[in-house]
């Protein structure tokens, strides 16, 4: 299997926990910081194809909460969600773990344990 890639923001506490878990489990992984290397529309479309835009857009996060109501109301489908995520990558739920093209959103130790024990 190819090396997994973890996407997120370096200062995010949940991302820090996921990175620590991977390191403690001695799992080699690639790291992509949204702030330094924003995801492309094609990558986001692939993620949405697996989990849906509703899962990928972090409506509980600070970035979403800071949007005005009109901007929030415009996010209604794949295309509008991608436009928002391209403009504001911090609104993407994190971390995103890509294991050979299959993605997992968020971090829970039990979930990662299950993913890497297969």
Is 25 catalytic? The answer is no
Neighbours of 81 (CB within 10 A): 22
Q: Order of strands, edge to edge, in the sheet holding 30-33?
A: 30-33, 5-8, 96-99, 102-105
Q: Check 12, 92, 103, 105 and give the catalytic one.
A: 12
Query: How far apart (Å, rounded) are the C-alpha atoms in residues 118 and 109?
Result: 15
Active site residues per annotation: 12
């Amino acid at each position: 299997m190819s090396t997994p890639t973890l996407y997120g923001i370096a200062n995010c506490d949940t991302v820090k926990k996921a990175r620590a878990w991977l390191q403690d489990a001695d799992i080699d992984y690639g790291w992509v910081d949204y702030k330094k290397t924003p995801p492309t529309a094609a990558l986001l479309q692939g993620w949405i194809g697996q989990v849906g835009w509703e899962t990928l857009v972090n409506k509980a996060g600070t970035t979403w909460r800071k949007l005005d109501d009109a901007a929030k109301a415009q996010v209604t489908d794949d295309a509008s969600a991608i436009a928002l995520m391209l403009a504001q990558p911090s609104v993407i739920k994190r971390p995103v773990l890509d294991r050979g093209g299959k993605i997992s959103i968020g971090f829970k130790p039990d979930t990662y344990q299950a993913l890497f024990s297969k």
